Amino acid sequence: MKKKLAIIMTAALLALLAACGTGDIYLHDAPDDPASTQAAEPDPVAAEVTPEPADTLGAPVILNIRNITETYPAPDGSDRIILTFGYDDVNVYLQSDAAAADAINQYLATQDEIYYSGTGNGDGLNGYLEIATDNFALAQDHGAGMNLETSCMRSANVDRADSRIISIRYRTNSYSGGAHGTYFDRAYVFETGSGNRLSFDDLTADPAALEKLVLETMNETLKNDVRYKPIFDYMTSFNSDQNLDDLLKALIRDGSWTLDAEGLTVFSDIYEIGSYADGVVRFTVPYDAMSGILDEALLPPERTADGELRIMRLDDLGSDAIRLTDKVTVTEDGPEFRVYTDGVLYDVSIDSVTYINDDVGFYQTETHWYCSYLSHAGVQVQTMIPEGMPNLMIRYRDAGGDVHSYLITESGLDGTVLLMEESSVVAVG
């Protein structure tokens, strides 16, 4: 008998019901690709209203992320799938500089092509299709009870996006047979003003000093943080102290560092400085620790104001004017909503999630949309709302940097759309 899940909502959730509203609406230009989920409805108005914090935060930075997945059936004509291959297509919109956005989007499109074709350093679609076909033939010939579904998926994560920096980190997960799959991360950091990708040397006028600080932080973390002790023991069992420094220094390379919300983060590949169970190992140097070394123009803009997240159905009427910055379609046959703020919210993202258990909670499966900040504005969302556990989450940071997570659900009494705090969800039964 399947376990049934019920959602327990506290009475405080009722306070999150949206004030109804309609009125001033704008959207940025939608991509030319007709398959894009960011549809240009309603039409833009002649003049867009500049948000109040623009003097310190600049114009909002928006990233639309669309997943493209292809599946391939077995050559015997059955319905069995032997390969799933996909990637996230990221589109950057900069109201302040269309040329910079075009440069970033062109660079990302090139990375998509490299991933898809396998040019340079990967198997690509054809390579994985060949592996999947060979695995299928092997199983047919020997009757092996092996997992026949080969897969390769690349997902995009927004580490940071604001008027100064856009950091996008791709994770590629693949499985081509054996006990488990493998994965690795690659990061790309762009200067928002120019659209140029930054190298490590571009972060400072003194690269040697920054490298020294990063290495000191990595060594200190390995030796003093109890969470990293197994990794340190693993490394020192095979390497001398000198070799240990060489291994850590090798991580400071393009693609293996990112500027995120906390600071400069350097990360490894799996097996590189730890076991498979250790996964991708990360070391973060906080922004305040890099004072005087990191270029000040790369520090996150100051955040001072706060706001509250609201939601209402698209066809609700009221007196409040709501400026819509974008439209995000998760499922095309679902109802439409307006998610908006009556103040300022930062690092706003819309993510698909799945509930694992009470210990893990919700696991993010896909990011659909990201905005550096919303100021008295919102986004139009179209999605189906499941009867059971919610599967769409909206996250944001407040001025203090704390993350808030809400799920879109409906009232069991009258179908009113609700924003539910993640911490209020409990699975029972």
pLDDT tens-place string over residues 294-353:
999 999 999 999 999 999 888 776 556 788 999 999 999 889 999 999 999 999 999 999
pLDDT at 376: 92
Total number of residues shown for the chain: 429
Q: Do strands 392-397 and 403-410 pair parallel, antiparallel, or not at all (unpaired)?
A: antiparallel
Which has the closest alpha carbon to 170: 152, 188, 182, 196?
A: 188
Taking the C-alpha atoms of 401, 13, 52 and 325 in order, what is their torsion angle to the nearest 10 degrees? 100
The encoded tokens of residue 97 equal 């500089």
All domains of the chain, ordered by start, with CATH?
A: 6-27+306-424 (no CATH), 69-198 (3.30.565.40), 201-300 (3.90.640.20)
- What pTM does this model have? 0.84
Angle at 59 between CA 408 and CA 56, to 5 degrees: 105
pLDDT digits 0-9 by tens, 19-42: 333 333 434 443 444 334 444 444
Phi-psi region of 192 (alpha: psi -120 to 50; beta: other; left: phi over 0): alpha
| Cis previous bond, 42, omega within 30 | yes
Percent of the chain at pLDDT exceeding 90: 59
Look at residue 84 and tell me whether its pLDDT is greater than 70: yes
Confidence of residue 392 (pLDDT cuts 50, 70, 90): very high
